[in-house]
Structure 1
Amino acid sequence: MNVMTASADPRIDIAPLLARIAGLLGDLRSDHAGETGAVMIYRGILAGSADPAIRAFATEHLATEAGHLRLLEAMLAPGQRSILLPIWRVAGFLTGWLPAIAGPRAVYATIEAVETFVDHHYEEQIVKLGRTGEEGALRRLLETCQGEEVHHRDEAAAALGTAPRGALLRAWAFVVGSGSAAAVAAARRI
Structure 2
Amino acid sequence: MSAVIEPGIASYSEYLEQELRSDHAGETGAVYIYKGIIAIATLFKNQELICFAKEHGATEAEHLRLIEAVFEEKYRSRLLGPWRIAGWLTGAIPALFGRKAVYATIDAVETFVEQHYQGQINHLKIHRGYEQLLDLLVRCQADEINHKNEARSKASPSLPLALRAWCAMVGSGSAVAVLLARRI
The verdict on a shared fold, with TM-score over 0.5 as the criterion, is yes
Structure 1 equivalent of residue 110 of structure 2: 115
CA distance in 2, matches of 1:105, 1:14: 47
Distance 1:42 1:138, change over 3 A: same
Structure 2 equivalent of residue 12 of structure 1: 6
Given that 1:14 and 1:134 are in contact with CA atoms closer than 8 Å, whether structure 2 keeps it comes out as: no
**Is 1:26 equivalent to 2:18 in the alignment?**
yes
Distance 1:125 1:27, change over 3 A: same
1:76, distance to aligned residue in structure 2 (A): 1.5
CA distance in 1, matches of 2:25, 2:93: 20
| Secondary structure of 2:113 counterpart | helix
CA distance in 2, matches of 1:82, 1:38: 15
Which amino acid is the alignment partner of residue 41 of structure 1? I
1:12, distance to aligned residue in structure 2 (A): 3.3
1:90, distance to aligned residue in structure 2 (A): 0.4
**1:139-183 superposed Cα distances (whole Å, 9 cap, x missing partner):** 111000000000000000000142x11101100000100000000
1:124, distance to aligned residue in structure 2 (A): 0.3
Which amino acid is the alignment partner of residue 172 of structure 1? W
Q: How many percent identity over aligned positions?
A: 50
Structure 2 equivalent of residue 39 of structure 1: 31
Given that 1:126 and 1:139 are in contact with CA atoms closer than 8 Å, whether structure 2 keeps it comes out as: yes
Kindly report structure 1 stretches of 4+ aligned residues shifted beyond 2 Å: 11-17, 130-134
| Secondary structure of 2:78 counterpart | coil
CA distance in 2, matches of 1:123, 1:70: 20
Given that 1:43 and 1:96 are in contact with CA atoms closer than 8 Å, whether structure 2 keeps it comes out as: yes
**Is 1:153 equivalent to 2:148 in the alignment?**
yes
Which amino acid is the alignment partner of residue 157 of structure 1? R
Given that 2:106 and 2:148 are in contact with CA atoms closer than 8 Å, whether structure 1 keeps it comes out as: yes
1:75, distance to aligned residue in structure 2 (A): 1.3
**Is 1:178 equivalent to 2:172 in the alignment?**
yes
Report the RMSD for the aligned CA atoms in angstroms: 1.8
1:133, distance to aligned residue in structure 2 (A): 7.5
Compare relative contact order (CA 8 Å, sep 6+) and give the higher one, 1 or 2.
1
